[in-house]
């Protein structure tokens, strides 16, 4: 039996559909077999063999102390209560924690491995670091196989976050590549993450997962435009983008672009998944080949 948290979320839904032949019990605040808010209480759980913990507060930029604290409430306190519930119900054989490459705290870099120090200072990254350590220590103490999957941008039907914003921008004709859109970012298909979980559950360890190609903004935007029946997105030269960023610096945090955002957009940020290839037999599909932006018969 598999216990799956966050089953109503983007990745959770795909994991549930891919592992449909497994006996999955879902837990979440809504639309789950066990409805509970683990931020506020320790859940009563069934005995299970594998736990897949995808639930968590997604990456965003907090604007208040309350929003900053919420990352730790969800990602750390929620995880701690889940672990307490497992202790009371009976220990699983394996625990898979869905983490993020944000723990490295980087905005640029190439082929970052799992050995790289965890330098995140933002609330999201720091909360993921704390949750990772909490899970790792708990598994070690209780002799449970621990697997931590550090994911970059996740692609799949109807994605949330930055990828959704990009899709909607292209759909409405508001998206532009900057400086040719040459910067490469690591990505991974949600379906591939789901498929590797049963393997990872038996092996354990900490892994970066990517598609191995690390698409550029230009490549990704062309694929999205083609699926939407739109023309290739236009390009903003670097000198114009720099002037726009300087103006944004004067406008403040609400500006669509500033110097910091420009550096991030035009810098490569890729991660090394060699460890997963060697130990898990990780052989992912290229995002540019496998990325479908919507479910069948479902509009974006």
- The model's confidence at residue 255, banded by pLDDT at 50, 70 and 90, is confident
pLDDT of 297:
42
Q: What is the pLDDT of residues 171-214, one digit of tens each?
A: 999 999 999 999 999 999 999 999 999 999 999 999 999 999 99
Domain regions of the chain by residue span: 2-160+186-215+269-290
Q: Please provide the average confidence, as pLDDT, over all residues in the chain.
A: 93
Provide the pLDDT confidence category of residue 62 given band limits of 50, 70 and 90: low
pTM: 0.93
Q: Is the pLDDT of residue 80 over 90?
A: yes
Tell me what the mean pLDDT of segment 48-67 comes to. Answer: 83
* Mean pLDDT to the nearest integer, 146-150: 98
Domain 2-160+186-215+269-290 in CATH: superfamily? NAD(P)-binding Rossmann-like Domain (3.40.50.720)
Highest mean pLDDT among 140-154, 163-177, 239-253: 140-154
What is the mean predicted confidence (pLDDT) over 42-69?
85
Q: What is the 3-state secondary structure (H, E, C) of the chain?
A: CEEEECCCCHHHHHHHHHCCCCCEEEEECCCCCEECCCCCCCCCCCCCCEEEECCCCCCCCCCCHHHHHHHHHHHHHHHHHHHHHHHHHCCCCEEEEEEEHHHHCCCCEEEECCCCCCCCCCHHHHHHHHHHHHHHHHHHHHCCEEEEEEECEEECCCCCHHHHHHHHHHHHCCCEEEHHHCCEECEEEHHHHHHHHHHHHHHCEEEECCCCCCCEHHHHHHHHHHHHCCCCCEEECHHHHHHHHHHHHHHCCCCCCCHHHHHHHCCCEEECCHHHHHHHCCCCCCHHHHCCCCCCCCCC
């Amino acid at each position: 039996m598999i216990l799956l948290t966050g089953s109503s979320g983007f990745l959770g839904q795909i994991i549930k559909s891919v592992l449909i032949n497994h006996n999955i019990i879902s837990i979440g605040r809504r639309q789950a077999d066990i409805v509970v808010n683990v931020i506020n209480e320790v859940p009563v759980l069934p005995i299970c063999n594998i736990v897949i913990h995808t639930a968590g507060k997604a990456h965003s930029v907090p604007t208040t102390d309350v929003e900053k604290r919420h990352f730790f409430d969800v990602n750390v306190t929620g995880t701690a209560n889940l672990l307490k519930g497992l202790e009371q119900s009976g220990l699983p054989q394996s625990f898979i924690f869905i983490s993020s490459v944000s723990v490295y705290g980087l905005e640029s870099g190439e082929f970052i491995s799992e050995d790289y120090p965890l330098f995140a200072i933002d609330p999201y990254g720091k909360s993921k670091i704390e949750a990772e350590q909490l899970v790792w220590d708990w598994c070690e103490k209780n002799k449970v196989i621990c697997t931590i999957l550090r994911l970059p941008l996740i692609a799949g039907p109807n994605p949330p976050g930055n990828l959704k914003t990009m899709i909607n921008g292209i759909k409405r004709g508001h998206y532009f590549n900057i400086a040719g859109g040459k910067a490469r970012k690591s990505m991974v298909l949600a379906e591939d993450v789901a498929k590797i979980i049963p393997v990872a559950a038996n092996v354990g360890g900490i892994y970066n997962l990517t598609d191995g190609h690390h698409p550029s903004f230009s490549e990704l935007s062309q694929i999205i435009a083609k699926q939407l029946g739109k023309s290739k997105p236009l390009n903003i030269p670097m000198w114009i983008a720099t002037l726009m960023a300087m103006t944004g610096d004067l406008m403040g945090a609400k500006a669509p672009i500033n110097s910091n955002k420009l550096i991030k957009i035009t810098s490569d940020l890729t991660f090394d998944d060699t460890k997963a290839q060697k130990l898990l037999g990780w052989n992912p599909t290229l995002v540019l080949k496998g990325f479908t932006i919507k479910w069948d018969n479902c509009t974006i």
